Amino acid sequence: MVNIRPFKGYRYDNEKVDVGRAIFPPYEIKKTDYKRMFLADDNHNVLKLILGDMNNTSENGERYEYSVKLFKRWIDKGYLIKDKKNCIYVYSQQFEQDGETIDRTGFISLVKIEEFGKNIYPHELTLSDTMINRRVLLEKTRSNVGLIFSLYNDNKCDIDDILEEAKNTTPEFDVYTDFEGVRHRLWVIDNEETIEKITSHMKNTKVLIADGHHRYNTSLDYSNSKPDDELAKHVSMMFVNMKKDGLVIVPTHRLVKNVVKFDKDNLLKKIENDFTVEKIKFNDSNHKEKTREMKRMMKENGKHSFGMYVGNNTLYILTLKNERSLEKQNHCSKEWCNFDINILHSFIIDKLLDIDIKNPEDQGKIDYFKDIHDFAHRCVEKVNRDDFQIAFFVNPPDMETIQKLSENGEIVPQKSTCFYPKVYSGVVIYKFENGEDNF
């Protein structure tokens, strides 16, 4: 039974704040130009709360004292306003994908935190060292600035009918973010009878975390450390029905570097023991088209087909020869053994390159490239610039397999899935308060 409840969230006042420049994808801050723009002094981007004082490198939490003061100032000046009633929020993200306009709609509420495996399931590996800053930020601000993105299963779409009805009214905001090319709209449901219908229906469901594993683990750890703090026993979450249209999973390719004594020819020879190998030659003027051709062929081959680039203007398509070889991994379920990312890691990255992503010393050898706007050719360019030694290309995973794996309690490697677009931070903020100022 999943226990959700409404809450009085803090939202940007769109009469005082440009909401389109204030909300932001969680931790998507690698591009320096974007970071500089969104951290500018003339805006109220939520990234300022998340990152704190970037000039303070102390490890005792002083960096996030800036976040606390800034949060309070924004509330005092009315940039952030608190809803007067307990609400459930309807959040829509509209975007273009492969020439089609897609709308992904879900609702935002609080959910009671519990250990994984009963009603709430993870599906990806998390790394404890990436949770440290999140924990300090949570302790200092006592707030969920961002949202965990989760999926539930509702074949009848009963909740979706309620959400669509709410969407017939005027949204609280309707903005477009240039960062990813996404239209964001938010509606408020404060009718108690309607809220009760949603909360009652969710008691019969289970939840799969799509994105935000580290944030959920951080909230779970914090809640366990504060057993008497009722407010810390809930976390804000965005729920989307996995049976509705609008769920898009894009592939996350692997880029590998720092392999000692790397030998391209020897790697190819070893790969041929388990995979058939096809070649696609290209030149400097057509590498984009040839990369698309490789992806098309991978898709046509179906499961267990991968792309690889190691230089020399030659792309390789690797397709597993015999699925019986998967049976040797008898420590796992059929779904886990057949999951493409696991095959890539087990047969090539772990076995042939001796890279264990669970080993902190090896984690810096792999980078991840989200193929959001058909930009896989950039992985080729990165290898040609010698930024990386190898690029591995994958097909996107299917939702049914991800659901089955999570229900089995089996965890796949990090960055196995990328649900596009991210659920943005700053849309609605949950602050742990009980009618008084907790700063």
175 forms beta bridges with 184
Q: Write down the pLDDT at residue 310.
A: 97
Angle between helix axes 213-225 and 132-141 (nearest 10 degrees) is 60
DSSP at 87: B
Six-digit token pair at 199? 């909360």
Report which listed range, 19-23, 107-111, 415-419, is most confident. Answer: 107-111
Six-digit token pair at 258? 């720092």
Query: What is the rounded distance in angstroms from the CA atom of residue 402 to the CA atom of residue 277?
Result: 27
Q: Write down the pLDDT at residue 439.
A: 39
Q: Are 97 and 116 in contact (CB under 8 A)?
A: no
Each residue's pLDDT tens digit, 332-352: 778 888 899 989 998 999 999
Each residue's pLDDT tens digit, 201-227: 999 899 999 999 889 999 999 999 999
Query: What is the rounded distance in angstroms from the CA atom of residue 137 to the CA atom of residue 63?
Result: 9
* Comparison of pLDDT for 61 and 159, the residue scoring more: 159
Q: Write down the pLDDT at residue 437.
A: 47
Q: Are 438 and 432 in contact (CB under 8 A)?
A: yes
DSSP at 347: I
Six-digit token pair at 156? 């009848």
Query: What is the rounded distance in angstroms from the CA atom of residue 129 to the CA atom of residue 136?
Result: 12
CA 280 to chain centre: 32
pLDDT interval class at 359 (50, 70, 90): confident
Helix (H) or strand (E) holding 393: strand 390-393
Please choose, from the candidates 426, 424, 421, 423, the residue with its C-alpha nearest in 3D space to the C-alpha of residue 46: 426
Each residue's pLDDT tens digit, 279-317: 999 998 999 999 999 999 999 998 899 999 999 999 999
Q: Decide if pLDDT at 414 tops 90.
A: no
pLDDT interval class at 133 (50, 70, 90): confident
Q: What string of DSSP letters covers 328-361?
A: G-TTS-HHHHH-HHHHHIIIIIITTT---TTSHH
Q: Decide if pLDDT at 58 tops 80.
A: no
The residue type found at 329 is Q
Q: Decide if pLDDT at 196 tops 60.
A: yes
Q: Are 280 and 294 in contact (CB under 8 A)?
A: yes
Percent over 90 (pLDDT), the chain:
67
